[in-house]
Amino acid sequence: MKTLQSRRQLWPALTLGLAAWSGASVARLLEDDGPEAMLGRFLAAFNGLDWQAFQDCLAEDVSLFNPDIPEAVSLHRLDGRAEVEDSFRKVFAESRKTPGAVGPHIAPERTRVQRFGDTAVATFEFQRHGSSFGRRSIVLNRGAVGWRIVHIHASNVG
């Protein structure tokens, strides 16, 4: 009888512990679905001009090398979320000025993601207006909150 009573007392604690563990595991799996998924979310947010989703892709210590475009606040490296967001705010605002524009319409080609433990480097090219094309290198890192972008290097050719 005493053993049955002990088991009944242990069961709620065990159930709560298992629920907390499985919930944390599911949350971690949902967050940690790889650098490819984060790159996809980043591009979807950028193309859709979804500012909140775009911000959620960036690490606090993100850095950026802008391409030579009119919206670029600087061609020197920008450091930290505030500087990088300020630069992209200008790009988002300029994109919204075009009537009927939905976003930049970056369609990556020749995409490659190289993974090195908790770090990944994604590179791709895309067609721009005319005969111009863009090149992007994006460095991602997996931290406590999942994959985030820590560096963007952007250049355009032609």
* 6: in domain: no
**In CATH, what number is assigned to the domain containing residue 64?**
3.10.450.50
C-beta of residue 155 within 8 angstroms of C-beta of residue 132 = no
* 27: in domain: no
| Per-residue pLDDT, 2 | 53
* 18: in domain: no
| Per-residue pLDDT, 94 | 83
DSSP string of 75-93, one letter each residue = SSPEESHHHHHHHHHHHHH
- What is the total count of domains within the chain? 1
CB atoms within 10 A of CB 46: 21
More confident residue, 57 or 5: 57
* 62: in domain: yes
* 13: in domain: no
User: What domain range includes position 63?
Assistant: 32-157
DSSP string of 20-51, one letter each residue = HHHHHHHHHHHH-S-HHHHHHHHHHHHHTT-H
* 7: in domain: no
| Per-residue pLDDT, 99 | 73
Cα–Cα–Cα angle for 32, 36, 40, rounded to 5 degrees: 105
